[in-house]
Amino acid sequence: MLILLPPSEGKTAPTSGPALELSTLTHPGLNATRQRVLDELATVSKAPNALELLGVGASLAAEVEKNVSLRVEPAAPAREVYTGVLFDALALGSMTPTQSARADESVRIISGLWGAVSPADAIPAYRLSMGVSLGELGSLGALWRKHLEPELSPIAANTVIVDCRSSSYVSAWKPKPAALDSDWVQVKVLRELNGKRSVVSHNAKHTRGVLARHLLTRRGNPPRTAHDLLKAARGCEDFFEVSLHPGAPGVFTLEIVVKQ
């Protein structure tokens, strides 16, 4: 099982600890590109119109300023840095050592700055979205696409890929189920109100976090196929209904209905 998550917009900045050390991060093959993005992010963040270039408001000016010095800012495990609705529901910090080890192995957080990190990777808080066109590097989704393929494909082979990302992060790496002999399952969240169903937007993050936590903490073997995933998800008491819908060969949508 490989669980793909987006990063959170909100982050908890470490107040102490060692500085960033790229050589310790998962997927060292991404480090050359990580260096390029760090350098360009620092340059863009110094610009007079940095907030506009990074697509953020004035309230985030202090976070953008810290982008200039990310190499010397304190770093902490990604499980502590990423916060927000999805990560609050996932609650990585409350897992047992065995569950945490499973998360470190099975979860990859797709990032505009790091490409992909595991929950154990020590990173500083930063401000950068995958949807940004970053200075001379251009589209981050396009930049990461060619580099993530050789890094993620080996750990995605012969298993189920549980994709909880939003569209801008999906653009950075789209699995190829036929080549990987895997099932790629994208998670869609619906709500039922007065007998009618509609797509959930913001609260979908919470539901995806609940699903990821359930898959990482449940007893038994992790799912290896889309149908294994369906059976596992149906065991989560938080969900009203779960169904699986096939698309192209090896591509599925897992629909989770929540009551509101």
d(CA 166, CA 170): 6
Handedness of CA 225, 176, 191, 130 (dihedral sign): positive
d(CA 116, CA 126): 15
pLDDT one-digit tens code per residue, 161-206: 999 999 999 999 999 999 999 999 999 999 877 777 778 776 899 9
pLDDT one-digit tens code per residue, 104-123: 999 999 999 999 999 999 99
Residue 140: half-sphere exposure toward Cβ, Cα within 13 Å: 25
Average pLDDT over residues 232-249: 95
pLDDT one-digit tens code per residue, 211-229: 999 999 999 999 999 999 9
d(CA 213, CA 87): 9
Burial of 23 (0-12, 13-18, 19+ CB in 10 A): exposed
User: 3-state class of 131 per DSSP?
Assistant: coil
Mean pLDDT, the chain, whole residue set: 95
Q: Which are the contacts of 119, defined by CB distance < 8 A and separation ≥ 6?
A: 77, 78, 79, 92, 100, 103, 104, 107, 109
Burial of 247 (0-12, 13-18, 19+ CB in 10 A): exposed
User: 3-state class of 192 per DSSP?
Assistant: strand
Res. 80: pLDDT tops 90:
yes
* Res 191: pLDDT: 84
pLDDT range class, residue 37, cuts 50, 70, 90: very high
Whether the model pTM is above 0.85 = yes
Name the residue type at position 257: V
